[in-house]
Structure 1
Amino acid sequence: MRKKLKKIFKWHHKKNKNPAVPTFEENLQACRFVDAGKQLITREHRLFELKKDGIGSKMKLVEEEEDSGARLAKDYEDWLESVMQTLENSLDLQSPEVLKEAVQAILQEEEQDMRWEGFQDKERPPWRPRRCKQSHDALLERLVQRRMEETQLDSRTEIRSSLQQSIICKVKRLKEDLLKIATWVSGCYPEQMNVCQFYATLYHKTFSASLREVTEYTLCDEDCILLLQLVNQDYPNILNGRIIKEVIDHSKLDPLLPEDKIAPLEQQFLTIEEREVRKCLHKILDREESAWKEGELPQLRDQVFCCDQAIDVIQCLHKHVECAQKVLGDETKAQRITCQMRHFLTDYKAFHAKAMKSKQTNTEAVLMVNLSCLIQCRDYITNKAHLFPEDVKTDCLSLLATMIKGSHQHFTSNMLKNLKDLYRKVGSSEWLNDSEGVCEELLAELDRHIQKFNNLDKICCQELLGGMHKAFLAEFVRKMMKQKIKLSDKTQQQMAASSLCINSERIHTYFTAAGSNMDWLKDILPNLAGLLKLQDPDTIKLELASLVTLYPDLSECHISAWLRLKGNLSPSDLKEIRESITFSKDQLRETQDSLQFGKSFFSIVMIK
């Protein structure tokens, strides 16, 4: 036992040749805690060794033990008080050297505890182990709790509720203290102690406890939003700050608020946001409907109709969705807000239908602005599809498609109505004799009709004129298929085919210049004209098989109506051609969804 003790304490017996060795009191006064601690350990060794060796008379030993034991206990108390006081003030110290001394002194005591670990209770001093590290950890925990409780409001901060004041002050204190710990306190501790993570855990635990307590009460809307924003945005931003994230692994921290506490707050917040979005969108629609009823015309900006409602709708929705994403920290949860778009478009559809039936003088202009609004909303939903639940996105795009189609049909049917008398000439003897004149008359009247669309924005006008381009051409083909003329010989058929090609180029040039981007329509009339020029039934079959592939909605009725223009085809030839086309279409249907992959045109050419 004596050999074991001497081995443990042999480093205490080195004599200092310097005669001016500071006393324990001087070391303690100068905050040289390590040296003072060594002196206490040396005295501890001597005292315990005396007891074991029994040096001197028993009376003298007892007296020395009592005197040394009392003094050692008192000095140790003073030493520990100074060390703990230093640790308690560690976040406010001006000199890191003092804190380093306190930390090293604590570790020195831990080492001394470990030296006594192998001894039985009666074989070691009664004051061992002293567990200074345990006292250190408990003190830091009390320190963190005290600092978080004693936070004070910055007088320059404008905050309404006392709860907000308390939370924001705690957040500020937490951030400032963690920065101090990361920048200089950590340098006073050995790396293996991982003091930054330890402090972060203490602050996190304390802050979490205070927030849990807050959630026990019903929160007003502002407090609810503040709390969610703090949990999902502000607090993670603090932990992910450049300096702090280098020394703290926040993935090892528990959630600031557990799911059972955060879920009711999220529900409350989403209800708030839904209510705000619903109110905002309803106000926009009310404003537009009131303006329409009062006969107001949309404003022009740079000769283009202003579509303020589209801007307002998109901004309203997007602003609240972005806010929800930040506050909730979850894009999927924020999708619930975009469900309000479906309700808005359902109401908008009712207003749109009402406007289309109206005969008010401002209806046409209002419908044009509505069309622009619908297209912008459609493009927003398409481009920001990730913000919408799948079923909501599908419903919204369906509602918008229905309204856009209704607007196009409204304007297109008005166009066809205005051109009705002139269309009677198409496919007639008059057209056969002067096809260019008839075509020019049609385009001149068309031009007068579509001048009003000059005030539409480019994208909206492009789509509308593309639809009109298709409808104009479809009506042209329908009129040709009414068989007002019979092309009885090759010469007449070639002349009609040439006229169709000239008409096609003129029509396509006009619509393209006006804004249509339906370039593929330029081949419709030339392809049909090619059939008129062909004389051999087998060649006609081959050409039709090619056309059916290009235009899968080209039906047998369309083919029959067109081929009847050729007066020199026998009934048997017509029957044979029709049968071959039926076989070709059956083969095509087996390999692909024809309307999906082909250009749809003939489906709108309505023939009896």
Structure 2
Amino acid sequence: MTKKLRMLNILKWHPKKNNIPAVPTFKQNLQERRFVDAGKHLITREDRLFELKQDGIGSKMKLVEEEEDSEARLAKDYEDWLESVKQTLENSLDFQSPEEQEVLKEAVQAILQEEEQDMRWEGFQEKERPPWRPRRCKQNHEDLLKRLVQRRMEEAQLDSSIEINSSLQQSIICKAKRLKEDLMKVATWVSSCYPEQENVCQLYATLYHKTFSARLREITENTLCDEDCVLLLQLVNEDYPNILNGKMLKEVIDHSKLDPLLPEDKIAPLEQQFLTIEEREVTKCLHKILEREETAWKEGELPQLRDQVYCCDQAIDVIQCFHKHVEYAQKVLGDETKAQRITCQMRHFLTDYKAFHAKAMKSKQANTEAVLMVNLSCLIQCRDYITNKAHLFPEDVKTDCLSLLATMIKGSHYHFTSNMLKELKDLYRKVGSSEWLKDSEVVCEELLAKLDRHIQKFNNLDKMCCQELLGGMHKEFLAEYVRKMMKQKIKLSDKTQQQMAASSLCINSERIHTYFTAAGSNMDWLKDILPNLAGLLKLQDPNTIKLELASLMKLYPDLSECHISAWLRLKGNLSPSDLKKILETITFSKDQLREMQDSLQFGKSFFSIVRVK
């Protein structure tokens, strides 16, 4: 027992060794993937070896052999180190755990450390620096990433759940998907392993962009079917920009620094092919709509009523067909201007529509009136669409389309208003006659009563179309009324008769205006025409008449000398000399006439449709 205790005491008395942790060797660091520390080992060794060379110690054979062995070992260790770093980088887009992220950070820092060592020897002559410098680790890193990207794009597999017939489409879609997924990985966590100044997101974006672009260029070397052509354009102009402009990638990638995915000489033929496809589709669609309407008209069909209003399905179909294709072309081409070529098909369609419209107006079929009403609604809706969407059309196409529509709308209005005037022709003879002077209210009531029976058929028109048509009829009705007054079937010989006629004109004006506005006309400014003309009848002093005329000519730029002369001749007590003096003051220069014509396009044009001899 005593011996045992003595032995223990001896062990306790024995001094302990220092517990200083051993410095990890190069191989231990490499095994643990501590690439920065392993790299420092290599740099220290290469500095020592180069110093030995510079000091000339290698003159002795034995030391020379040792140096050569050391350089060989250094080269071997460096290759092992580089291989391990490369493997880390090659797998970087598959890493997921925080531990793997730390390893990638080590690899990146080790490469940058090597780059710094290269920079130390910049400016030295070849003999003055180690023969293994520069190692160009950073350039090798970029080359490695380039190969990595190319490999991943080549190995991209399409989701088996997606059904696509074309192998070319499968190739394009799976590569685009891989590109998006990998760039998201880079932005999400790979970028945190690199210093910010390295801009690794932009580097990866450039590499993926160039690889994808090269593949797409290869594809365009062959003639593509229509479906493949559309897919490729949609990818280049819509899908790919959407990837780069995604919320996360937009913040870390400057896509303005990337070259076009396809150069102009490659994409132009695809655009031409696509536009030809779309033009063909639009033409076919619009032709079917017109053919359907023409067939229905020839077979005597009446337009359908919905809530007691004629349905204008052709307007909806035309606008939807046209707009759908133009909007689609803008997305696929990524350029509103290029898509404008399709809009020429609207001009061709309206030219054909005009021929159909002309045939319908000449026809005596029972359904013609109803068909023309629906056509009018279609024309107005198309006009409003082109006006509101003017940016879709080249200027010449827009002008031609609006001109065609204006001609057809005017033709429809003329058809309905001329029928109205024919029916009222006998009653209009009374306007401005002695019978009218005796009892103008009865004459006006008779006109409106017969007019009412005529326009009942417009009750089935949609509100917008009815408003415009009745506005035109309101104007024509009033113009014919004024024209009949200017025929001078009566002479208002004294002030009393002139005031009585003026009062009748004002009363008639109010009844006419009330009737038309109740029916749907929105031409509110017409209510002042007859009262303003009545005011001229009441005036007796020639100078006052001149002043009043000057005011009226500003209100109505198309009030001509012929109109004024015809109206003032109703005043039987106005001497020929006074009339001549008044008319002499009404002079227009050519410039004033030109300005007057320009203002008619925007101002209140009325008297231009009052035809007087």
TM-score (norm 2): 0.93
Q: Residues 542 and 42 from structure 1, CA distance in 2 versus in 1: closer, same or farther, beyond 3 angstroms?
A: closer
Going from structure 1 to structure 2, the CA distance change for 1:426 and 1:131 (only over 3 Å counts) comes to same
Where does residue 40 of structure 2 map in the other structure? 38
Distance 2:47 2:589 in 1: 106
Deviations 1:573-592 (A, max 9, x none): 332332233x3788954875
CA distance, structure 1, for counterparts of residue 575 and residue 83 of structure 2:
120
How far off is 1:56 after superposition? 10
Are the structure 2 counterparts of residues 135 and 597 from structure 1 closer, same or farther at C-alpha, using a change threshold of 3 Å? Answer: closer
Deviation, structure 1 residue 54: 6.1
Aligned to 1:214: 219
CA contact (8 A) 2:226 2:277 kept: yes
CA distance in structure 2 between the partners assigned to 1:53 and 1:597 by the alignment: 98
How far does residue 40 in structure 1 lie from its aligned partner after superposition? 1.9
Aligned to 2:24: 22
Matching residue within 162, 165, 187 for 2:167? 162
Q: What is the Cα-based RMSD across aligned positions, in Å?
A: 2.0
* Equivalent residue letter for 2:81: W
Deviations 1:270-322 (A, max 9, x none): 11111111111111100110111111111111221111111111111111111
* 8 A Cα contact 2:52 2:58, kept in partner: no
Match of residue 398 from structure 2: 393
Per-residue deviation, residues 104-161 of structure 1 (Å, max 9, x unmatched): 1111222222233354434443322222222211111111111111111111112221
Give the secondary structure class of the aligned counterpart of 2:189. helix
Do structure 1's residue 264 and structure 2's residue 261 form an aligned pair? no
Distance in 1, Cα, partners of 2:589 & 2:530: 21
**Structure 2 unaligned runs (5+)?**
1-17
Amino acid at match of 1:278: T
Distance (whole Å) between structure 2 residues aligned to residue 587 and residue 77 of structure 1: 91
Match in the other structure for 1:126 = 131
1:142 corresponds in structure 2 to 147
Q: Could you tell me which residue of structure 1 aligns to residue 324 of structure 2?
A: 319
How many angstroms apart in 1 are the aligned matches of 2:513 and 2:122? Answer: 98
- Aligned 8 A contact 1:90 1:99 in 2: yes
User: Which whole-Å CA distance do the structure 2 matches of 1:163 and 1:181 have between them?
Assistant: 27
Corresponding residue for residue 500 of structure 2: 495
Q: Determine whether 1:73 maps to 2:75.
A: yes
Paired letter, 1:75: D
Q: Structure 1 residue 207: deviation in Å?
A: 0.7
Task: Please list, as runs of the form range in 1=range in 2, the aligned pairs for 1:507-518 lying within 5 A after superposition.
Answer: 507-518=512-523
Structure 1 residue 443 and structure 2 residue 445: aligned? Answer: no
Post-superposition Cα deviations, 1:438-465, rounded to whole Å, max 9, x if no partner, equal 1111111111111111111111111111
Q: In 2 relative to 1, CA 383–435 (structure 1 residues): closer, same or farther, beyond 3 Å? A: same
Q: Name the CA distance, whole Å, in 1 between partners of 2:284 and 2:569.
A: 61
Cα distance in structure 2, aligned partners of 1:131 and 1:328: 43
The farther-off stretch of 538-547 and 242-251 is 538-547
Give 1:362's aligned residue. Answer: 367
Please state if 1:97 is matched with 2:99. Answer: no
State the one-letter code of the partner of 2:405. L
Q: For 1:311-358, what per-residue CA distance to the aligned partner results, in whole angstroms no more than 9, with x for missing partners?
A: 111111111111111111111111101111100000000000000001
Q: In the TM superposition, what is the alpha-carbon distance from 1:551 to its structure 2 partner?
A: 2.1
Q: Does residue 1:335 correspond to 2:340, yes or no?
A: yes
- 1:486 counterpart residue number: 491
Are the counterparts in 1 of residues 492 and 572 from structure 2 also a CA contact under 8 Å? Answer: yes
Compared with structure 1, are the counterparts of its residues 26 and 413 closer, same or farther at alpha carbon in structure 2 (3 Å cutoff)?
same
Letter in 2 for 1:165: Q
Give the deviation of 1:545 after TM superposition.
Answer: 2.7
Q: Greater CA deviation, 593-602 or 354-363?
A: 593-602
Q: Is the 8 A contact 2:58 2:67 kept in 1?
A: no
**Whole-angstrom CA distance in 2 between matches of 1:120 and 1:434:** 120
Q: Measure the CA separation in 1 of the matches of 2:34 and 2:588.
A: 101
SS in 1 for 2:472: helix
Instruction: Report the Cα distance in structure 2 between the residues aligned to 1:193 and 1:586, rounded to whole angstroms.
Output: 73
Aligned match for 1:61, one of 63, 82, 91 = 63
Cα gap change, 1:54/1:423 in structure 2, threshold over 3 Å: closer, same or farther? closer
How far has the Cα of 1:569 moved from its partner?
2.5
Shift in Å, 1:529: 1.4
Deviation at 1:55, TM superposition (A): 6.2
Instruction: Judge conservation of contact 1:545–1:584 (CA < 8 Å) in 2.
Output: no
CA, structure 1 residues 596+69, in 2 after alignment: closer, same or farther (shift >3 Å)?
closer
| Structure 1 residues 127 and 415, CA gap change in structure 2 (3 angstroms) | same
| Structure-2 residue corresponding to 1:88 | 90
Distance 1:419 1:52 in 2: 121
Q: Which structure 1 segments of 5+ residues have no match?
A: 1-15
State the AA in 1 paired with 2:294. Answer: E
| Pair 1:48-2:89 in alignment | no
1:557 aligns with 562
Asked if 1:175 is matched to 2:180, the reply is: yes
Partner in structure 2 of residue 193 of structure 1: 198
Q: CA deviation at 1:42?
A: 2.2
1:114 alignment partner, one of 113, 119, 129: 119
Q: Secondary structure of 2:351's match?
A: helix
| 8 Å Cα contact 1:204-1:256 kept in structure 2 | yes
Distance in 2 separating the partners of 1:257 and 1:586: 58
Corresponding residue number in structure 2 for 1:13: none
Which whole-Å deviations, capped at 9, do the CAs of 1:533-592 have from their partners, x for residues lacking one? 2223332233223222322322233223222222222333332332233x3788954875
Match of 2:305 in 1: 300
Letter of the structure 2 residue corresponding to residue 221 of structure 1: D
Deviation at 1:434, TM superposition (A): 1.5
Which deviates further from its counterpart, 233-242 or 362-371?
Answer: 233-242
SS in 1 for 2:118: helix
C-alpha contact (below 8 Å) 2:558/2:596 kept by paired residues: no
How far apart are 1:198 and its partner, in Å?
Answer: 1.3
Partner Cα separation in structure 1 for residue 465 and residue 440 of structure 2: 32
CA distance, structure 1, for counterparts of residue 514 and residue 137 of structure 2: 93
Distance 1:210 1:56, change over 3 A: closer
CA separation in 2, counterparts of 1:42 and 1:544? 107
SS of equivalent residue, structure 2 residue 558: coil
- The amino acid that maps onto 2:355 is A
Contact kept in structure 2, 1:144 and 1:206, CA below 8 Å: yes
Rounded to whole Å, the distance in 2 between the matches of 1:307 and 1:75 is: 84
State how far apart, in whole Å, the 1-side matches of 2:91 and 2:234 are.
32
Residue matched to 1:566: 571
Instruction: Say whether residues 1:539 and 2:541 are aligned partners.
Output: no
Residues 470, 51 of structure 1: CA spacing in aligned structure 2 closer, same or farther, 3 A cutoff?
closer
